Amino acid sequence: MSSILSEVTEVVRDVFGEDDIVLTETTTAGDIDGWDSLMHLNLVIGFEQQFKVRFSTAEIAQMKETGENIGTLVQLIARKTGRST
């Protein structure tokens, strides 16, 4: 598991308050019970704090609307932070 994916998983677990959530690069919001619009915003805030990045409104909307997977999020964070996946 990549370092970014591991950190994303920790943020998701923290926001949902569930230590048993397992994410893969193909996981989507639809795969996680309770991942609604409010939780999405809470997750975005958590990702921004964890990775010290800011997502544009368009990036936030695209993440939710297209049902992008965690792998896409990991790639976006890698680009924004200059880290490798």
For 48-79, write each residue's pLDDT tens digit. 999 999 999 988 887 766 567 999 999 999 99
Class of domain 3-81 as given by CATH: mainly alpha
Residue 13 CA, chain-centre distance (Å), reads 11
Classify burial at 42, counting beta carbons within 10 Å of its beta carbon; exposed 0-12, middle 13-18, buried 19 or more: middle
Give the domain ranges of the chain. 3-81
For 19-33, write each residue's pLDDT tens digit. 999 999 999 988 999
Q: Which amino acid is at 38?
A: L
44 contacts 38 by C-beta, under 8 angstroms:
no
Global pTM? Answer: 0.90
